[in-house]
Amino acid sequence: QQPVQSPQAVILREGEDAVINCSSSKALYSVHWYRQKHGEAPVFLMILLKGGEQKGHEKISASFNEKKQQSSLYLTASQLSYSGTYFCGTRGTGNQFYFGTGTSLTVIP
């Protein structure tokens, strides 16, 4: 039930934009996004609860399409501090909470 993320890795220059996708084979009730800096624990970024809803965090926003069972994370005008691994997360059929396969984002000067 683990969501699949794409791409697996991306390298950006400062100021460039990126999109990270998260898709599930199961129905999505909500989607969480987390960021993990190297050597640290994942930290919550945002949650999306409704289809088509968009949320924002700094210059990071996300969308959620229930029908397509997909969510996308948009990073605009990337900064060095955006580097890290991004995970989507969602509830399983019971009380499990599953995280995606992760996307490594590296922003270079």
Partner 1 sequence: NAGVTQTPKFQVLKTGQSMTLQCAQDMNHEYMSWYRQDPGMGLRLIHYSVGAGITDQGEVPNGYNVSRSTTEDFPLRLLSAAPSQTSVYFCASSPWLERFAKNIQYFGAGTRLSVL
* Helical (H) or strand (E) element with 57: strand 54-57
In the region spanning residues 21 to 50, those forming contacts with partner 1, defined by CB under 8 A, are 29-30, 32, 34, 40-44, 47, 49
The answer to whether 89 contacts partner 1 (rule: CB under 8 A) is yes
In the region spanning residues 45 to 74, those forming contacts with partner 1, defined by CB under 8 A, are 47, 49
The answer to whether 17 contacts partner 1 (rule: CB under 8 A) is no
> Strand 31-36 relative to strand 97-99: parallel, antiparallel, unpaired?
unpaired
Residue whose pair of structure tokens reads 């989607």 in the numeric block: 31
- ∠ CA 25-57-69, nearest 5°, is 15
Contacts with partner 1 by CB under 8 A lie at 1-2, 5, 8, 29-30, 32, 34, 40-44, 47, 49, 87, 89, 91, 94-102
